Every structure is written in structure tokens, then in C-alpha cells.
Structure 1
Amino acid sequence: MSAERLRVFFALWPDAATAERLEALAGQVHAQCGGRRMRRDTLHMTLCFIGEIGLGSLAALEAAVATVKAPAFRIDIDRAGWWPHKHIVWAGCGAGARDVAALAETLRAAVSAQGFKIEKRPFQPHVTLLRKGRCPPVTDRIEAVSWPVREWVLVASERDHAGSRYRRLGCWPLGAVAK
């Protein structure tokens, strides 16, 4: 990718304590499934994948989502799964899934309305724990990792010899906690 282009996406990024618990969970499923564990600094939940854009489009992308508002919420990462076709072991949420999906849909609509192309796959809230996993986790139910969601971020994905590195480009706070 050239210096004038960025590969970007919007995501939920865990606070340090949540990232630590997700990393520990990745270690548990790694013992069962093998594969390559995601580094703690790369654990996230993608809300809207956009892909490659020119640097000149970054301000328009940020403006497209500037008015997106949503309450803060909590999600419970309490289930694990495996996508055999991609060899990905992931963790997903029960509690909070509707809030995540609503925020993702709002972001997707705002970005699309400004002419940005977005990934067309149906949204499935998840955190990738392992790549190149050899099998599904032993159980799909896991001890819940409670994740207080207070913001969402715009991230650039940069590839190098060690894999993907993520750089935060922007951050938007969520509103008061919903009652």
C-alpha cells in the first residue's frame, strides 16, 4: 500500500483490563486449538470495515461519523466459536450484542451515505483470538469477560513482516450508560 493510502476500519477497542482478560482467554483456547494467538495490542471488535482509502478521504470519513451518537454499554464476551473455512477461533457476546449491532449499523449507514464502500458481510460481533486454529474450542460457552464499552475508534491497519499493526486515528466517546 502506498504512503498516500490507508486501510481503515471502525472498532471497539478494549481497555487494558479487558484486553488482559481477552488475552488470557486466547491462551486457554490456544491450548485446545493451536494456531497463532492474536497479540494483546491487536484484540478488538470490528464494527465497520472500510478498506483502502486515500489520505485525502480521511477527513470526509471522520466527518461522516461525527454526528453518530449512542449510549455507553457493556458486553459480555461469553461464547467461543470457530470458522473452519478461515481457521479462526473467535469469542463473541450474548449480553450487549444488540447494542454492538445497533452501533455498527449506525456507523455503516453514516459511512455509506457519504459514498464510502464498506464490507458487505453480515455483521457478527466477535473478537478474533486465534488465526490458523486447528479445531473448534472444546465448548462454545466460556467464562464471561465483561467489557465496558465507552468509545469506538477509527483504526489504520498496517502490514509488515511481523503481521498487522494497528494505529488509532480517531476516537469517539459514547454517551451516558443506558438504564
Structure 2
Amino acid sequence: MSLFVAIFPPEDVRRDLASSVPGIRSRADKWHVTLAFLGDADPALVAPALGQASLGDPFTLRLTGGGRFRSVVWAGLGGDVASLGALRDRVVGCLAGFPIDDRDFQPHLTVSYRYSASILNGLADYAGPEWWVRGVSLVRSAEGTYSRIGEWTLP
């Protein structure tokens, strides 16, 4: 089991990406932008910390372009990425003391765990619809299944 804090694009945004870029086989309902990976932290302790945080105001994002990390192919993010970075900083700040992955924040949405030149090429000119980020989710991942165990809205 692992725990993470994420943003999930709305269904119409995921549907647009899936229909615009041929060859994507991963499940669109699992597509998310990870803000903080917490490993095996106790959700009963993480949830109250998130619940007390001031997360900031809603902002807009869009999926645009793409790239890869080794074999992973991802969609990039456009729009108010400065607010996304600030939200990530607030999430990490309120979870100080928890075992958060300390890699540099490189916001992306993973679409394939296996490299595919056709998917990467399809993402090159992709610019999806804009959406409002209105909250974050605390997610438990166990054996490939994601369960949203808490959600917090931006005021």
C-alpha cells in the first residue's frame, strides 16, 4: 500500500486526451497529477494535517504536450502552473514530518508506463481543454487499485 496527494482532471478532460492521442492504454480514471508521494504513511494521521491546511484558491490547468522519463510517457501541464507549484508547496508544508518523496516537483500526468513513440508523437501537438483545479485528493494505492480516501476543496 502507498499513499499520495493528487489532482484528478475531470472526466471530459481525460476523455479528450484519450480520444486525441491514439495508443494510450492506461486507465483514464487513474490519471492524476501527484503533488506529494507519502509511501506507507498512516492516512489517519495525514488526513487531519491536510484538513487543517490553507490550500489557496482555485486555478486553471490544461494538459499540453508531453515527454518521457525513461520508459514512462507523460502529458505536460499548461495554464496556471505557478499556482500548481504553490499548491504543491502548501501541501508539502502542511505534511512536514511525514516521509514525502524529496525529488524535484516536475508536474505531469503519466499516460503510459511503457515507452511508445506513437504516444509521445501524439502528445507533441496536443493541447487539451482547460479545467478548474478545485481540490486535492488523498489516495491509497494498493495492488494497482486507487481509492480516494479524502478530498479537500480549494475555497
TM-score by length of 2: 0.88
Count, aligned residues: 152
- For residue 9 of structure 2, what is the amino acid of its counterpart? P
1:124 corresponds in structure 2 to: 106
User: Which protein shows a greater Rg?
Assistant: 1
RMSD: 1.8
Q: Are the counterparts in 1 of residues 13 and 128 from structure 2 also a CA contact under 8 Å?
A: no
Give ranges in structure 1 of 5+ residues lacking alignment. Answer: 1-5, 31-35
1:8 corresponds in structure 2 to: 3
Q: Alignment partner for residue 51 of structure 1, among 21, 39, 56?
A: 39
Indicate yes or no: 2:18 matched with 1:23. Answer: yes
Runs of 4+ off more than 4 Å: none
- For residue 170 of structure 1, what is the amino acid of its counterpart? G
2:126 corresponds in structure 1 to: 142
The whole-number CA distance in structure 2 between the counterparts of 1:75 and 1:149 is 7
TM-score by length of 1: 0.77
Give the superposition deviation at 1:67: 2.4
Q: Are the counterparts in 2 of residues 50 and 118 from structure 1 also a CA contact under 8 Å?
A: yes
Q: Are the counterparts in 2 of residues 108 and 118 from structure 1 also a CA contact under 8 Å?
A: yes
Q: Match of 2:85, SS?
A: helix
Q: Are the counterparts in 2 of residues 153 and 168 from structure 1 also a CA contact under 8 Å?
A: yes
Per-residue CA deviations over 1:5-43 (Å, capped at 9, x if unaligned) read x41000001222122123224x43x3xxxxx62201111
Q: State, as a whole percentage, how many aligned pairs show the same letter.
A: 28
Q: Are the counterparts in 2 of residues 38 and 130 from structure 1 also a CA contact under 8 Å?
A: yes
Q: Are the counterparts in 2 of residues 70 and 174 from structure 1 also a CA contact under 8 Å?
A: yes
- For residue 51 of structure 2, what is the amino acid of its counterpart? A
2:27 corresponds in structure 1 to: 39
Q: Are the counterparts in 1 of residues 75 and 108 from structure 2 also a CA contact under 8 Å?
A: yes
